[in-house]
């Protein structure tokens, strides 16, 4: 049993972000996992698919066009869950907004979170994938009294230049950083 637990922890990673030290009760959490092909249904995007002209040959994983992949490279990681904790209450983001996002990138050059001045909305930016398979994604999370409202905006890497994270007004820190 211990070997199974150790293996499970080796396959899962959790990225937890605090908005800033003045807002310790707001957390953004992404749990990622190693991509294991045998645990998924994998196919290829057909040439008559509406996205084929935009992304070219790519995988369809679990029924969705796989962002951040090509037929030359199998994904390495995927987002397993995504949640926002506000005032100690954890709200899970609908998996439709991230389950097609492979090879996520949470480093400082590729990821940022902005909290609006009224503290009701989070903008979460990520550049992910690879050089030719990259994508830019922005999640907009609005905090409502007992729930969250989430949306996403997506563009493929060749359509836009990378986000200018240096221009964003609020720095983020991983939980535990000072």
Chain segment 118-176, per-residue pLDDT in tens:
878 888 898 887 666 788 899 999 988 788 999 999 887 655 445 544 444 444 445 55
**Residue 141 per-residue DSSP state:** E
**pTM across the whole model:** 0.76
Task: Give CA–CA dist 79/99, Å, rounded.
Answer: 6
Tell me the pLDDT tens digit for each residue of 82-113: 998 887 888 999 999 999 999 898 887 888 88
pLDDT digit string, tens, across residues 20-45: 555 667 788 888 888 999 999 988 87
* Residue 153 to residues 52, 124, 135, 139, 176, Cα–Cα distance (Å): 19, 10, 11, 6, 29
């Amino acid at each position: 049993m211990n070997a199974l637990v150790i293996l499970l922890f080796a396959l899962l990673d959790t990225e937890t972000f605090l908005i800033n030290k003045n807002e310790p009760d707001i957390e953004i959490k992404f749990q990622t996992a190693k991509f294991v092909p045998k645990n998924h249904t994998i196919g290829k995007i057909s040439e008559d698919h509406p996205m084929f002209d935009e992304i070219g040959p790519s995988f369809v994983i679990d029924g969705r066009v796989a962002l951040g992949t090509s037929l030359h490279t199998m994904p390495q990681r995927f987002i397993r869950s995504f949640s926002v904790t506000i005032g100690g209450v954890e709200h899970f983001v609908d998996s439709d907004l991230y389950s097609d996002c492979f090879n996520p990138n949470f480093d400082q050059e590729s990821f940022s979170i902005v909290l609006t001045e009224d503290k009701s909305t989070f903008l979460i930016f990520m550049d992910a994938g690879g050089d030719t398979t990259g994508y830019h994604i922005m999640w907009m999370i609005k905090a409502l009294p007992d729930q969250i409202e989430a949306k996403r905006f997506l563009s493929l890497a060749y359509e836009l230049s990378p986000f200018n994270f240096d221009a964003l007004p609020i720095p983020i820190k991983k939980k535990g950083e000072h």
